[in-house]
Amino acid sequence: MKCRIYLVSIIFLCVSCNDKKKTRGLTDDEKIQSLILRSKDIYQDDRIKRPITDSLLDLINHQSKSFKQREYLFKVANRYYNLREYALERSITKRIISESIEARDSISLGKGLEYLGDNYAIQQISDSALLNYKEALEIYGKTGNNIKVAEVLLKMSIIKINNYDLIGGESLAIQSLGTFKKVNDFKNIAQVYNLLGKISFILKDYERTSILFEKAIQVISASESEEKLYYLNVFKHNLGTVLIADKKYEEAYKVLEKLLTAELYISNTSLYASALSQYATLRHELYPGKDDLELIYKRATSIHDSVSLSGYCIEVRNQFANYYLSIGDSINAKKVLISAYEFHAVDKYDSLLILETLHNLIKADPHNAAKYSLHYIHLSDSLKL
């Protein structure tokens, strides 16, 4: 442990020294611009980005209050957000909001309120996120910034759908769609179709869901966004998911097989793992008796655990357990399900996955069935199912 601490400390020290060498002889603005670029480097380790961002904030703090300083502070807030330093990002954003009100700077105020909404949204504090988004919406509306109005409506729609307010989420998504179509914002048009598809999926209207996901794929394919490939992979994965739910296994198998590339593993590890576990489930359905299924499930589980996303970790274990149960291996099914049961549910979707875990545990572990049944009833009641 001491060796690791010293290693990180040495890295920090080297970064600090290098910063001084690289910025010596530059004006403050030039130093800030240099650090902004370095803190944005996607190939840079987070342990190096953090001290660079700290140095950047220190330089900005020595500037006088102004619109330009607030723009720089937004850059810093964004860097801390990407580093998952949400408390720091929130503190800086609140400072920007306060100074924007003092300066009567509606542009920075609207942006600050939206940033604060993003901060709460990523932490799944939905009420606070929606409150700040509504305030941002009011500012953007007064200044006639229709694009920002549509973008905030889309963010609010996502929160409502994730909290199963499907009518409210659908209404907001459709409101935003008109604006995005007027300006040919293909990325956001595709996102709206994807959201509407998610609503149809929850309602089990799989035919409409497939149509909407295919629309999302078609629209994003015409986009020139830097994030085009990311969204294309997400939408294809979603299409594979609905095809599985609709029992169109051969079509789903083809979609997921094409999706599982080395590029996807590098660029979106969690999505790769999710597609991999679904792929294993389809192989078991289409080609029973394949001897590599257990290895595929184990690999998917390991990848999910490495990125620490509770919902995915629970879901892949449920799929893995279903495989064991289907071949009559209740001992290994029980082990995998208990592992899933130990995860903490962070939202309603996770809780629904835990319900599935409990349902299978009742079958796999009959000696403790009463305990699991009681938890199932309590959890189901809490979710108002």
Residue 281 in domain: yes
Domain boundaries, position 336: 263-385
- The mean predicted confidence, pLDDT, of the chain is 84
Instruction: Give the burial class of 3: count Cβ atoms within 10 A of its Cβ; 0-12 exposed, 13-18 middle, 19 or more buried.
Output: exposed
At 135, list the tokens: 């305030």
Q: How far apart are the C-alpha atoms of 209 and 196, rounded to whole Å?
A: 8
Q: Do residues 189 and 181 lie in contact, with contact meaning Cβ atoms separated by under 8 Å?
A: yes
Total tally of structural domains belonging to the chain = 1
Mean pLDDT, to the nearest integer, of 300-321?
74
Q: How far apart are the C-alpha atoms of 191 and 189, rounded to whole Å?
A: 5
Mean pLDDT, to the nearest integer, of 275-298?
78
Q: Is the pLDDT of residue 1 over 50?
A: no
CA distances 380 to 114, 351, 384, 385, Å, are 34, 9, 6, 6
Query: Which residues have C-beta within 8 Å of that of residue 345, sequence separation ≥ 6?
Result: 310, 314, 351, 353, 354
**Quick one: pLDDT at residue 279?**
87
Residue 141 in domain: no
**Quick one: pLDDT at residue 332?**
86
**Quick one: pLDDT at residue 175?**
96
Decide which of 319 and 248 is more confident.
248
Q: How far apart are the C-alpha atoms of 196 and 202, rounded to whole Å?
A: 10
At 139, list the tokens: 């500012």
- Look up the CATH number of the domain holding residue 358: 1.25.40.10
Give the whole-number percent of the chain exceeding pLDDT 90: 45
**Quick one: pLDDT at residue 9?**
35
Give the whole-number percent of the chain exceeding pLDDT 70: 86
Decide which of 324 and 97 is more confident.
97
Q: Is the pLDDT of residue 24 over 70?
A: no
Residue 102 in domain: no
Mean pLDDT, to the nearest integer, of 232-258?
93
Q: What is the DSSP letter of 163?
A: T
Decide which of 214 and 64 is more confident.
214
| Lowest model confidence (mean pLDDT) among 167-171, 267-271, 287-291, 379-383 | 287-291
**Quick one: pLDDT at residue 216?**
96
Residue 88 in domain: no
**Quick one: pLDDT at residue 356?**
85
Instruction: Give the burial class of 312: count Cβ atoms within 10 A of its Cβ; 0-12 exposed, 13-18 middle, 19 or more buried.
Output: buried
Mean pLDDT, to the nearest integer, of 125-145?
95
Mean pLDDT, to the nearest integer, of 261-284?
85
Residue 327 in domain: yes
The residue among 227, 248, 252 whose CA lies nearest residue 238 is: 252
**Quick one: pLDDT at residue 39?**
66
Q: How far apart are the C-alpha atoms of 20 and 23, rounded to whole Å?
A: 5
Q: Is 54 helix (H, G, I), strand (E, B) or coil?
A: helix
Mean pLDDT, to the nearest integer, of 12-30?
54
| Lowest model confidence (mean pLDDT) among 87-96, 213-222, 296-305, 331-340 | 296-305
Residue 256 in domain: no
Q: How far apart are the C-alpha atoms of 217 and 228, rounded to whole Å?
A: 10
Decide which of 360 and 184 is more confident.
184
pLDDT tens sequence across 331-378: 888 888 888 888 766 566 677 888 888 888 888 888 888 888 988 888
At 270, list the tokens: 């969690």
Q: Is the pLDDT of residue 6 over 60?
A: no
pLDDT tens sequence across 40-61: 655 566 677 788 888 888 888 8
| Lowest model confidence (mean pLDDT) among 123-132, 276-285, 302-311 | 302-311
**Quick one: pLDDT at residue 16?**
43
Q: Is the pLDDT of residue 284 over 90?
A: no
**Quick one: pLDDT at residue 338?**
87
Residue 95 in domain: no
Residue 207 in domain: no
pLDDT tens sequence across 107-124: 999 999 999 999 999 988
Task: Give me the amino acid identity at 215.
Answer: K
CA distances 248 to 32, 215, 242, 253, 256, Å, are 54, 19, 9, 9, 12
Q: What is the band of 314 on the pLDDT scale with cuts at 50, 70, 90? A: confident
Please report where in the chains the tokens 């599935």 appear, as a residue: 356
